[in-house]
Amino acid sequence: MKIVTILGARPQFVKAATVSRELKKQGLEEVIVHTGQHFDHTMSQVFFDEMEIPRPHYNLEISGLQHGAMTGRMLEKVEEVLLQEKPDYVMVYGDTNSTLAGALAAIKLHIPVAHVEAGLRSFDMKMPEEINRILTDRISNILFCPTQTAIDNLHQEGFQHFNCLIKNTGDVMLDAVLHYKEKSKAISKILDTHQLKGKKFALATLHRAENTNNPVRLRSICEALNEIHHKTRVILPLHPRTRNYLQAHEIPLQVNVIEPVGYFDMLMLLHHCELVLTDSGGLQKEAYFFGKYCITLRDQTEWVELVHEDANSIAGADKNTILRDVELAKHKRVTFNPALYGTGDAAEKIVATLKQA
């Protein structure tokens, strides 16, 4: 059996690495295609070597375009790869333009599609990711869901009546955290670099366009982070694009701003922080895996089970709500519940299902 895996961003490579290891272990051939959607300077040879991630067989180098142009270009180039490779399955992850392009290219060539992280919904159609998720799910043959909530979403949309297999595998992100957690302790120097050993700090990230492209929302969030920093040190790895936007709109940020960090460094920051404030989807779950309360700087989340579990609060961009939730978080205790995201064997279940399909 030959699998072509379509990836477009560093987080997808980390998730896919868990499945790639299992594919190799089970003797299945995998061809990895990197669309180039998100250029990431950390994805050097060291990144692939340290994380034991297979290097892509194809790099399409498609980035920096508007959504339509990017997706169209990817569709064209992925189709060329699939015509050459003739795989038994195409596997896609998550909700990027690369995800949708890979699924579309495959299904138009009558190649079955397997979607990892299927069934997620924010119910916000203004998010490009939401559109990508819904369309990819609809044309996929196997839907690998990370949670029961994701399966419930698909059932509510009538997927049980479609010609597809729906399976709750647990979350590949948990597989990744469990695999890399100990290795990060040996490799990461982030605590020494920023003198964080034995210090209390909150970890924040801020990158979603709904926040960074909206000066009103961004100013409100920054004002909250500045006030939090007066009591508890805030560590904020900040993308240069967001930094430039802050400067252009003269929005003061009085926290410990550091350069964007790699995966191992992020795991170490999560392990040692007191609290997480983020607009990232993935970091909400990783905070939970490390037993840290998370305040989500968005108006909704795909990971509603974390809210129900009282491990996550949705604060949006309102300064007062963020500050209130920080105070409430001091009295929260987060306990990991394996019923939410599985037990770290998602990759095994995915590969076993592919072999039986």
Q: Are residues 136 and 236 in the same domain?
A: no
Q: Are residues 67 and 147 in the same domain?
A: yes
What range defines the domain where residue 135 resides?
A: 2-171+342-356
> What CA–CA distance (Å, rounded) separates 181 from 290?
10
Chain segment 124-173, per-residue pLDDT in tens = 998 899 999 999 999 999 999 999 999 999 999 999 999 999 999 999 99
Does position 45 have pLDDT exceeding 80, yes or no? no
> In this prediction, what percent of the chain has a pLDDT beyond 90?
88
Task: Tell me if 357 sits within 8 A of 91, measured CB to CB.
Answer: no
> What CA–CA distance (Å, rounded) separates 102 from 175?
24
Q: Are residues 276 and 196 in the same domain?
A: yes
Among 24, 5, 23, 4, residue whose Cα is nearest residue 13? 5
Does position 183 have pLDDT exceeding 70, yes or no? yes
Residue 256 exposed, middle or buried by CB count within 10 Å (0-12, 13-18, 19+):
middle
**Residue 164: its pLDDT value, please?**
98
Q: Are residues 159 and 235 in the same domain?
A: no
Does position 42 have pLDDT exceeding 80, yes or no? no
Residue 280 exposed, middle or buried by CB count within 10 Å (0-12, 13-18, 19+):
buried
Q: Characterise 310 by phi-psi region: left (phi > 0), alpha (psi -120 to 50), beta (else).
A: left
Does position 41 have pLDDT exceeding 80, yes or no? no
Q: Are residues 270 and 325 in the same domain?
A: yes
Average pLDDT for 317-333: 96
Residue carrying structure tokens 């490009």: 128
Among 198, 243, 241, residue whose Cα is nearest residue 222? 243
Among 117, 119, 115, 97, residue whose Cα is nearest residue 107? 115
DSSP code, position 91? E
Order of strands, sheet of 165-168, starting from the edge strand that comes earlier in the sequence: 58-59, 29-34, 2-7, 89-93, 113-116, 142-145, 165-168
**Residue 27: its pLDDT value, please?**
96
Among 274, 333, 337, residue whose Cα is nearest residue 305? 337
Distances in Å between the alpha carbon of 67 and those of 7, 31, 75, 117, 211?
16, 25, 12, 21, 19
Residue 62, helix vs strand vs coil: coil
Confidence of residue 234 (pLDDT cuts 50, 70, 90): very high
DSSP code, position 53? P
Q: Give the number of C-alpha atoms closer than 13 A to the C-alpha of residue 27, restricted to the C-beta side.
A: 1
Q: Are residues 185 and 329 in the same domain?
A: yes
> What CA–CA distance (Å, rounded) separates 162 from 137?
11
Chain segment 4-18, per-residue pLDDT in tens = 999 998 889 999 999
Q: Are residues 218 and 193 in the same domain?
A: yes
Chain segment 265-274, per-residue pLDDT in tens = 999 999 999 9
Count of the separate structural domains present in the chain: 2
Q: Which phi and psi angles does 93 have, rounded to 5°?
A: -125, 135
Quote the mean pLDDT of the chain.
95
Average pLDDT for 251-272: 95
> What CA–CA distance (Å, rounded) separates 215 from 251?
8
Q: Are residues 88 and 185 in the same domain?
A: no
Chain segment 201-219, per-residue pLDDT in tens = 999 999 988 999 999 999 9
**Residue 51: its pLDDT value, please?**
84
> What CA–CA distance (Å, rounded) separates 27 from 21?
10
Distances in Å between the alpha carbon of 173 and those of 7, 232, 345?
15, 28, 10
Distances in Å between the alpha carbon of 33 and those of 98, 105, 125, 137, 166?
10, 13, 28, 20, 25
Average pLDDT for 93-102: 97
> In this prediction, what percent of the chain has a pLDDT beyond 70?
98
Q: Which phi and psi angles does 147 have, rounded to 5°?
A: -145, 165
pTM of the model: 0.93
Q: Are residues 55 and 152 in the same domain?
A: yes
∠ Cα 146 329 296 (to 5°): 45
Active-site residue set: 207
Q: Are residues 165 and 184 in the same domain?
A: no
**Residue 167: its pLDDT value, please?**
98
Q: Are residues 347 and 328 in the same domain?
A: no
**Residue 337: its pLDDT value, please?**
93
CATH number at residue 48: 3.40.50.2000
Which tokens belong to 53? Answer: 């991630």
Q: Are residues 24 and 166 in the same domain?
A: yes
Among 233, 284, 242, residue whose Cα is nearest residue 260? 242
Confidence of residue 64 (pLDDT cuts 50, 70, 90): confident
Does position 40 have pLDDT exceeding 80, yes or no? no
